[in-house]
Amino acid sequence: MAGLLRETDVEDISPRAIRQARLDAGLTQVSAASLVHVTPLTWKRWESGDRSMHPAFWELFALKVESGISGGMNRDESK
């Protein structure tokens, strides 16, 4: 996940890049949405390409994941 902001141009954030970044961080759509303060439906729409992710949300997600703010409580865990 290191360098996420450098790897993807924030002006051209593809649904594929959003999904891959979430998977690389080990997060569900619900936990990723919570991390950036949006609904799970919004996150799902970003990943499906129904809506475009604003660059500010991409940057917030990347900064939180790269700094470890997502922490264990937002990561997927086996139940």
Q: Which residues neighbour 35 within 8 Å (Cβ) at sequence distance 6 or greater? A: 27, 60, 61, 64, 65, 69, 70, 74
Instruction: Please state, in angstroms and as integers, the Cα–Cα distance from residue 2 to each residue in 14, 28, 38, 68, following that order.
Output: 18, 19, 23, 11
Q: Which two tokens stand for residue 55?
A: 């660059």
pLDDT higher than threshold 90 for residue 6: no
**Section 9-23 average pLDDT:** 87
pLDDT at 78: 38
Confidence of residue 54 (pLDDT cuts 50, 70, 90): very high
CA–CA dist 56, 44 (Å, integer): 17
